[in-house]
Amino acid sequence: MTFALIGNQNCGKTTLFNQLTGSSQHVGNFPGVTVEKKEGALKRHKGVSVVDLPGIYSLSPYTAEEIVTRDFLLSGQSDGIINIVDATNIQRNFYLTLQLMELNLPMVLALNMMDEVRASGGSINIKALQDELGIPVIPISANKNEGIEELEERAIETAAKKLAPKRLDFCRGEVHRAIHSLAHMIEDHAAAAGVSPRFAATKLLEGDPIMEASLKLSKNELDIIGHVADEMEASLGTDREAALADMRYDYIQRLCAGTVKRAGETKEQKRSVKIDSVLTHKIWAIPIFLGIMLFIFFLTFGCIGAALSELFDMGIAALTDLTAGVLSSAGVNPTIRSLVIDGVFAGVGSVLSFMPTILVLFFFLSLLEDSGYMARVAFVMDKLLRKIGLSGRSFVPMLIGFGCSVPAIMATRTLSSERDRKMTILLTPFMSCSAKLPIYALFTQAFFPRHGTLVMMGLYVGGMLMAILSGLLFKSTLFKGNPVPFVMELPAYRLPSARNVFLHIWERAKDFLMKAFTIIFVAAIVIWFLQSFDFRFNQVTDSSQSMLCSIGRLIAPVFAPLGFGTWQASTALITGLTAKETVVSTLAVLMPAGLAEPLTFLFTPLSALSFLVFTLLYMPCVAAMAAIRREMGSVRSAVFAMVYQTGVAWVAAFCVYQIGRLLGF
């Protein structure tokens, strides 16, 4: 048995999904967090699964989220629908509910955030609402795990008995006549397509081209539909889509008048208005955001995270020494011993030592995200992004890009404009992903220990500035035109739940460990092998005679004007294309005596800064490039992105190094 979990954006849908399935999926408190459907099995019922579909406001196929959801529902893959509704904003949420009911599928309604409704003095007559709609209505609080078991039982019972909604008719007057005449005319076509005649009739009346194609209507039938719609528009004095929207909202208003006792603003809403007067201020909003991020970087790289990483590094060093001693006492072959200690432990261990820093950073970011603040940042950034030809909605994928470029690029599917989507894809990799954090941490500890926070802040802001400059260039060349209007619902500020924050951190740690013991593990062994043997496969004592050195020297001259024209640095940049953390593990393998001191023989503070700028901006990992090719739809677009970003990185690093030399640094 499979259920489709559907609701508006930011109604608590993903939180409910986690409660139902025990999934480790991250919960975000801003619209657009769920890009693709996700599936999980119910914890308390074997053989029952729930598919978490994207947050939508209607079943009109205008956006990628609506198309994904509608296609899934019409495909017959679900046995029933769980429609989650924000009870504090019930009238707006019910617009989607009525459309779902028209599908005539088994369905239950989950009224979420009922605790907030009660706290604000409001109430909802559940029985009257249930009798009027003709579907089970269950009050829940997903965040507090209230009412979840009852929701599961009623959903399974409804689907098992195939109980369709008892009421599908919400219209009257001219709209009523139009819908019913079309439903009767297309009944055979709808049955053949496996669609409810009522749903098909409303979509045809709206002028839905996808529904017209799926029903395989004749030209004569299409002419009749057009005539019926024209008559309705003439009688009502409005267009067909507005007429259907008015019909639904008129019914919702009558429904809520008899079942919902509205209270004043909830305490969460009142608190949000007061906080927003400061955090979304037209002058101070962006400085406050930068100040918050600076404080987070200080705690992460100059205080908590640095101390934890140092302790972790000591533990890894002790384990390395212990393993080396055991291998030596066991008389293991020196080559194998070198592989384990100088290859695996040096490569993987050097990256693992920075895991606490990354987790601390994402702890603070998850607090901002789950509290609702990041939605405000997207709202504030709309004005700035419009100057480069994008809307504030593009900030959501860019924000995800600070974690990983792959899901960020996939998140651009939420953008309704193809122009905005492609432009955002090209700009998102300029956001510094978490995989680059070990590189930043390594070089700041070695060269800028007193100014680590400022260097980190500068790198993150530098990536955003480069995205802005690239956006201005693209706006006047590749992507001429204006961005689509930006509409975003700002959720009320809420205290992040410890469970959601923990799940976010655990997901990040799991991804990091998986990458460390797969990609980075293999890369460390390959780098060790290339550094330990020459082209005749003789083991070398001097790495300058190795295969790796020969390869690195071929491309090293390209980086000489940037201040780091050594074979070690160029090799590290190449291996970084598999995963950015591999830059650190490569340097660790090439300099097994330790990292911080040998780095000073390869870099000066100025060339180290140039190296950081290059790693910030050059092409992302191969997984991200594959995502760009898939989302842009052509290899040529991916090659352009690769060449453009690497070219920008080279020019930026060149400017940093050469200007720094002129200034005497």
Give tens-digit pLDDT for 324-380.
Answer: 889 888 888 888 888 888 778 877 777 777 788 878 887 888 888 778 888 788 788
Residue 130: pLDDT band by 50, 70, 90 thresholds?
very high
Residue 596: pLDDT band by 50, 70, 90 thresholds?
very low
Residue 122: pLDDT band by 50, 70, 90 thresholds?
confident
Residue 389 has pLDDT above 50, yes or no: yes
Terminal Cα-to-Cα distance of the chain (whole angstroms):
67
Residue-level pLDDT at 663: 87
Mean pLDDT for the chain? 84
Residue 577: pLDDT band by 50, 70, 90 thresholds?
confident
The values of phi and psi at residue 281, to 5°, are -60, 140
Residue 637: pLDDT band by 50, 70, 90 thresholds?
confident
d(CA 206, CA 420) in angstroms, rounded, equals 26
Give pairs for 403-407: CB < 8 Å, separation 24+. 403/362, 403/365, 403/433, 403/434, 403/508, 404/433, 404/434, 404/435, 404/511, 405/429, 405/431, 405/433, 405/620, 405/621, 405/624, 405/627, 406/623, 406/624, 406/627, 407/35
d(CA 441, CA 357) in angstroms, rounded, equals 8
Residue 489 has pLDDT above 80, yes or no: no
Positive or negative torsion for Cα 659, 662, 663, 664: positive
Per-residue pLDDT, averaged over 379-402, amounts to 79
Sequential DSSP letters for 14-53 = HHHHHHHH-------SSTT---S-EEEE-SSSTT-EEEEP
Residue-level pLDDT at 71: 83
d(CA 54, CA 320) in angstroms, rounded, equals 46
Residue in 197, 195, 187, 185 with CA at minimum distance from that of residue 222: 185
Distances (CA, A) of 147 to 163, 259, 651: 21, 20, 58
* Of 131-140, 466-475, 484-493, 539-548, highest mean pLDDT: 131-140
Residue-level pLDDT at 657: 93
Q: Where are the domains of the chain?
A: 2-160, 173-261, 286-662
Distances (CA, A) of 567 to 21, 574, 575: 50, 11, 12
Residue 562: pLDDT band by 50, 70, 90 thresholds?
very high
pTM comes to 0.70
The answer to whether residues 204 and 212 touch, using CB atoms and an 8 Å cutoff, is yes
Residue-level pLDDT at 29: 39
> Helix 567-575 to helix 605-617 angle, to the nearest 10 degrees?
20
Residue 537 has pLDDT above 60, yes or no: yes
* Of 275-279, 618-622, 642-646, highest mean pLDDT: 642-646
Per-residue pLDDT, averaged over 489-502, amounts to 77
CB atoms inside a 10 Å sphere around CB 347: 31
* Of 20-29, 160-169, 486-495, highest mean pLDDT: 160-169
Q: 13 by DSSP, 3-state: which?
A: helix
Q: Which residue has the higher pLDDT, 631 or 268?
A: 631
Positive or negative torsion for Cα 509, 512, 518, 524: negative
The answer to whether residues 587 and 634 touch, using CB atoms and an 8 Å cutoff, is no
The answer to whether residues 531 and 545 touch, using CB atoms and an 8 Å cutoff, is no
The answer to whether residues 7 and 13 touch, using CB atoms and an 8 Å cutoff, is yes
Per-residue pLDDT, averaged over 200-220, amounts to 88
Residue-level pLDDT at 595: 46
Per-residue pLDDT, averaged over 570-593, amounts to 80
Domain 2-160 class?
A: alpha beta
> Helix 635-662 to helix 418-427 angle, to the nearest 10 degrees?
40
Sequential DSSP letters for 289-321 = HHHHHHHHHHHHHTTHHHHHHHHHHHHHHHHHH
Tell me which CATH code domain 173-261 carries.
1.10.287.1770
Q: What is the pLDDT of residues 222-233, one digit of tens each?
A: 899 899 989 998
The answer to whether residues 405 and 433 touch, using CB atoms and an 8 Å cutoff, is yes
Residue-level pLDDT at 112: 92
Residue-level pLDDT at 597: 58
Residue 484: pLDDT band by 50, 70, 90 thresholds?
low
Q: What element of type H or E holds 191?
A: helix 187-193
Q: What is the pLDDT of residues 266-308, one digit of tens each?
A: 677 778 888 888 888 888 888 998 888 888 888 887 778 778 8
Phi-psi group of 405: left, alpha or beta (phi > 0 → left; psi -120 to 50 → alpha; rest → beta): alpha
d(CA 87, CA 140) in angstroms, rounded, equals 9
The values of phi and psi at residue 7, to 5°, are -175, 175
Residue 37: pLDDT band by 50, 70, 90 thresholds?
low
Per-residue pLDDT, averaged over 245-273, amounts to 83
Residue-level pLDDT at 26: 42
Alpha helices in 330-394 (DSSP H): 334-338, 346-352, 355-371, 373-387
User: Could you tell me whether strands 123-124 and 260-261 are parallel, antiparallel, or unpaired per DSSP bridges?
Assistant: antiparallel
The answer to whether residues 138 and 153 touch, using CB atoms and an 8 Å cutoff, is no
Q: 658 by DSSP, 3-state: which?
A: helix
Q: What is the pLDDT of residues 182-197, one digit of tens each?
A: 998 998 998 888 888 9
